[in-house]
Structure 1
C-alpha cells in the first residue's frame, strides 16, 4: 500500500477573483479530515472582498470561529511532512496556500499537484471510480469535508489505503 498523501481543498474569498482563503480542509496521513476557517488578514481585505459563496461563509463567521494564518501554518508545519499535497484544483489551492504563507513572508514547503494525477499514478481513474460508485455530483460542488472524505473512500476501495484507517462520520 502506498503512503497516504495529503488531500486538500479550500473555499476562496471569490469564485471570479480568488485571492485568499476562507476555509481549508485537508486529510492527514492517518486518514482523518481537518477543517479550519481562516481569519482574513487586513492586507487581504484592503485589496479584495469576501463575496457570497456556496458555503455561506461570511466575515463575521471567520472572525468568530477562524484561526490566524500563523496558527494554520504552525499546524501544517507539524503535519505536512511531504513535498507534495494533492488538490482537485491545484492552481486555486496554490494561490490560496501562497496567500497564507505570504502574510508571514514565507514560501510554502510543499507543492500542490492534481489529485487526478495521484490517482493515475496509483493506476486508478478517479472519474471512472466515481462513476462506479454511482456518484454523479461533480466533485467541485461537494462540501469541502465531503470532497476529502470521498477521495479517502475511493483510495480505500482501491486498496491504496487501509479501509480500517478511515474515520467515517455517521
Structure 2
C-alpha cells in the first residue's frame, strides 16, 4: 500500500444530477497533482447533458483535450497501489468513478472514503486545520488542483505525512 494517501476530486456534468465526469484531479504517491479531462462516453450523452460548471468546461474542450476512459483507467491501474482513495464528496466521486469504469464494463478497483475521515483517523479536524492555515474559502469552492494541493499541504503541516515520505523524483 502507498505510504501517501491518494486524494481525488472531480467535476461532474451537472450539479443537480451528476452522472459522469468532465475532469478528474488527484494526488500521486510522489505528492504530485495530476489532472485530466474526460472525453464523454456516447451513452452518457444520450441520457445527460453537460451543464454550466465551475470550470466552464464544454463538450468541445473535452473532445479536444480530454482522454478516453480506457486511458484514464490504465493510468489509475498503473499508479494506484491502494484499495482506498479519499475525496471531499465521496458519494459524488464514487458515482463518477463508477460511471468511468462502467463505460468499459469494469468494476472500480478501489473504494472512495471521505477526506475528512482520513484526517479524523489521525486526530485532525480538517476544517479547523484549514482555518489555522488561513484558508477561509470552503473546500468545495476551491479549484480542483488547489484543493488537492491544499490537502497535501495540510497533511504535511499537521505532520500526518512528512516530506521524507515523498519519494525523490529522479531526472
Q: TM-score, normalised by structure 2?
A: 0.94
Counterpart residue number, 1:56: 56
How far apart are the structure 2 equivalents of 1:159 and 1:138? 22
CA contact (8 A) 1:14 1:50 kept: yes
**Pairwise CA distance, 1:53:** 0.5
**Pairwise CA distance, 1:122:** 1.1
Matches within 5 A, 1:110-149: 110-149=110-149
CA contact (8 A) 1:157 1:163 kept: no
Q: TM-score, normalised by structure 1?
A: 0.94
How far apart are the structure 2 equivalents of 1:139 and 1:38? 23
How far apart are the structure 2 equivalents of 1:163 and 1:137? 25
Q: C-alpha offsets along residues 35-70 of structure 1, whole Å, 9 cap, x if unaligned?
A: 000000000000000001111000000000000000
Structure 2 gaps of 5+ residues are: none
SS in 2 for 1:24: strand
Consecutive aligned runs of 4 or more in structure 1 exceeding 4 Å deviation: none
1:156 aligns with 2:151: no
Counterpart residue number, 1:68: 68
Counterpart residue number, 1:89: 89
SS in 2 for 1:63: helix
Structure 1 gaps of 5+ residues are: none
Aligned residues: 166
CA contact (8 A) 1:4 1:160 kept: no
Cα RMSD between the aligned structures? 1.5
